[in-house]
Every structure is written in C-alpha cells, then in structure tokens.
Chain A
C-alpha cells in the first residue's frame, strides 16, 4: 500500500492525558498536512510542512498541539492535556510541489476524549 498511512486509527483517552498520532506520507511527497474533522463538518486545516519545515499553522492549533516532521519523512501530531473538545478525526495528507496542488488524505485517526 503506497497511500498515506496513519496510526493509531482509533484512540480513546481520558481527559488530561497526552496523545500522539503518527503519519507516513506517500514516499515521494515533500508536503505533509494535518487537518481535523468533526461530525457533520468538512476537514479544517491545522498545519503543513514542506520537507522538515513547518510553513503554516492555523489558529486552531492551540499551544497544546505540536506537530513535528524531523527528517522530512513521517510526522507526529501531539495533543497535550486533552480536552473533550479535542474529540475528532485527525487527518494527515500529503502532496508534492509541482503536483498541481493535488492533496491525498490518509484514513484518519479517531480520537475520543472521555
């Protein structure tokens, strides 16, 4: 499978705990994106990387959220001190410059904060 891979697919955590999601993009893609999607809404942009550089962050990315892409390959999204409002699907996507802005999504990581 050469698509965008996300792990874990589902996570249930208690309020106040930290969680981390991992994304492996399509291998030749140098851009990597994180989005969040809640029920009945379209995905909302959180942040994006070109290679290892984090080029853009949304206002949705509060200081409890941190994303990294240390070697320009896989990425992690960490949420500290989770709140019930963090319950959502976290989507990773990737593309490559020169690919005409075609962005491909993974299957998502579902987070439930109880």
Chain B
C-alpha cells in the first residue's frame, strides 16, 4: 500500500460545477497537508496548506483534513476552464522532516 493514495482520474466537469478532490493516507504521523496545482509541463504551484485536522478556505478553494479517517479533500467552487490542471495532494511529518510525500495527482478538466 502506498503511503498516499489519490485517484488519477481524469475528472471532467462543466464550468461552474463544484469539484471534489480527495486523498487517503496510511501514516497517522503526518501533520502538514498541502494541495498543489500543476499545469502541463510546469512545476507544482502551492494552493492550500493545512496543519492537522480542520477546514481552511481561500476564495473558491476549501481544504479539509480528517485525521481520524486519514482523509483529505480539496473543494473547488464555481469551477473555471482555467482550473483545468493536475491537482496533487502532499503531506509530511513536519519538524525537521524535509520531504513531502505526494499522491499521483488527479487530472481535472473543466469544460466551458
């Protein structure tokens, strides 16, 4: 079992839809949870960052972490064609631990 599982999709939605992206993980020691957006042949761009359990909202994006279920989500409201990209979840232990553990990424397409 991989440490972080993410459905690769592809996921196709109409413009204006609410998008739900999810990851599960196996290691309960993870403390920091991130979502990155990656356009084709570009580097990952940090979207959301959450410490421990709870919700965090930033504009059209909401990140949720449920540590009891080892499950994290990213919601995108009023999705736009410009949101079409691959979304990567990532997490780490924090402290002096430097590396992020990534999911495979979910490819999202928002159709006009």
Contact = CB atoms under 8 A, between A and B. Distances in A.
Interface of A: 4, 6, 31, 33, 35, 40-45, 48, 50, 55-56, 58, 89, 91, 100-108, 110
17 contacts: A31-B98, A42-B103, A42-B104, A42-B105, A43-B88, A43-B100, A44-B102, A45-B98, A45-B101, A50-B98, A55-B96, A91-B43, A100-B49, A101-B92, A103-B100, A105-B46, A107-B43
A43 B102 contact: yes
Given A40-B104, A42-B90, A42-B105, A102 B99 contact: no
A41 B6 CA distance: 10
Interface of B: 4, 6, 8, 32, 34, 36, 41-46, 49, 51, 88, 90, 92, 94, 96-105
A37 to B, nearest CB: 9
Contacts of A42: 4, 6, 88, 90, 102-105
Contacts of B90: 42
Contact of A107 (B34, B42, B101): B42
B43 A106 contact: yes
Contacts, number: 66
Contact of B99 (A33, A40, A50, A110): A33
Given A40-B104, A101-B32, A102-B49, A91 B44 contact: yes
A102 B46 contact: yes
B41 A101 contact: no
A68 to B, nearest CB: 16
